[in-house]
Amino acid sequence: MPSFEDILYSVEDSTALITINRPHRFNAFRGATVEELIQAFRTAWADPGVRSVILTGAGEKAFCAGGDQKQRAETGDYGATASGMFEIGNLHKTIRDIPKPVIAAVNGIAVGGGHVLHVLCDISIAATTARFGQAGPRVGSFDAGFGSAYLARVIGEKRAREMWYLCRVYDAQTAERWGLVNAVVPPEQLLSEAKSWAAEIAEKSPTALRILKHSFNADTDHQAGLSNLAMSALDIFTDSPEGVEGAAAFAEKRRPDFAKHVSWH
Ligand SMILES: CC(C)(COP(=O)(O)OP(=O)(O)OC[C@H]1O[C@@H](n2cnc3c(N)ncnc32)[C@H](O)[C@@H]1OP(=O)(O)O)[C@@H](O)C(=O)NCCC(=O)NCCSC(=O)c1cc(O)c2ccccc2c1O
> What DSSP string runs through 107-153?
-SEEETHHHHHHHHSSEEEEETT-EEE--HHHHT----SIIIIIHHH
E strand or H helix that includes residue 64:
strand 62-64
Position 11 in a domain: yes
Pocket lining: 28 vs ligand 1, CB cutoff 6 Å: yes
ipTM of model over 0.95: yes
Q: Is the residue at 253 inside a domain? A: no
141 CB under 6 A from ligand 1?
Answer: yes
Residue 100 lies in a domain: yes
The DSSP result for 148-188, as a single string, is: IIIHHHHH-HHHHHHHHHH---EEHHHHHHHTS-SEEE-GG
Q: Whose CA is nearest to atom 59 of ligand 1?
A: 141
Q: Is 87 in the pocket of ligand 1 (CB under 6 A)?
A: no
Per-residue pLDDT tens digits for 161-184? 999 999 999 999 999 999 999 999
Residue 112 in marked binding region: yes
121 lines ligand 1 (CB under 6 A): no
Residue 77 domain-assigned (yes or no): yes
CATH code where residue 89 lies: 3.90.226.10
Nearest to 160 by CA among 136, 183, 139: 136
109 assigned ligand-binding residue:
yes
Does the annotation list 9 as a binding residue? no
pLDDT tens digits for 65-76? Answer: 999 999 988 888
pLDDT for res 92 = 98
Whole-number Å distance, alpha carbon 201 to ligand 1 midpoint, is 33
The residue segments making up the domain with residue 142 are 7-187+203-218
98 lines ligand 1 (CB under 6 A): no
For ligand 1, mutation pick of 24, 26, 129 (most atoms within 8 Å of CB): 26
**Residue 251 forms part of a structural domain:** no
Q: Which helix (H) or strand (E) holds 102?
A: strand 102-106
Any domain includes 248: no
* H or E stretch covering 17: strand 15-20
The structure's pTM equals 0.97
At residue 59, the pLDDT reads: 97
Q: What is the per-residue pLDDT for 222? A: 96
Round to whole Å and give the CA distance between 47 and 146: 27
User: Is 223 within the bounds of a domain?
Assistant: no
Per-block average pLDDT, block size 10, for the chain (265 residues)? 92 97 98 98 98 98 96 89 96 98 98 98 98 96 96 98 98 98 98 98 98 98 96 94 92 94 83
Please tell me the total count of domains within the chain: 1
Which H helix or E strand runs over 18?
strand 15-20
Consult the annotation and say whether 113 binds a ligand: yes
Q: Is 243 in the pocket of ligand 1 (CB under 6 A)?
A: no
Residue from 30, 61, 69 to probe ligand 1 pocket by mutation (most atoms less than 8 Å from CB): 69
CA pseudo-torsion sign 62, 132, 175, 156: negative
Alpha carbon of 17 to ligand 1 centroid (Å): 23
